[in-house]
Amino acid sequence: MSEQAPNSARLLPWVGVDGKPCYVVGNGEGQVSRAADRVEAMQLGMAYELLDHADDMVDDDRSTSVQLRHLAAALAYSLRDVHRVARSRGLRLGIPDAFEPDHPTGPGLVRLGP
């Protein structure tokens, strides 16, 4: 995907135990990084499709409140995924992450070692 500094921590597109963030340390070329790239692509594609579905439902006067609540829940879930992808990519670009002050080595681009 993108060049990553050696031994930098990448925020992964999934959460771990108790909803805590997961990281992988490396240069972005390992098996976990490739899996993360695939998951991110899937999450972004699903968000795009969900937006199309939302447009259709909002335009349809027959959509019920139950359907719209379900849509809102799906959109919120998808937005969390997309937000995590954006944060991960921002961290890799050196953009400080105010949302994650407890990142392994502090917010922003993370380099472990010299």
Considering only 7-16, 79-88, 96-105, which range has the smallest mean pLDDT? 96-105
The pLDDT score that the predictor gives to residue 112 is 43
This prediction has a pTM of: 0.75
Domain span at residue 66 reads: 8-92
Mean pLDDT across the chain? 84
Would residue 113 count as lying in a domain? no
Domain for residue 60, yes or no?
yes
> Taking Cα atoms as reference points, which of 32, 34, 45, 52 lies closest to residue 82?
45
Q: Kindly state the average pLDDT of the residues 102-108.
A: 50
Specify if 98 maps to a domain.
Answer: no
Given this model, what pLDDT does residue 3 score?
A: 54
Per the CB < 8 A criterion, the answer to whether 95 and 108 are in contact is yes
Nearest alpha-carbon partner for 25 in 5, 40, 42, 43: 5
Number of domains in the chain: 1
Backbone CA torsion sign across 77, 78, 81, 84: negative
In a domain, 3, yes or no: no
pLDDT band, residue 108 (cuts 50/70/90): very low
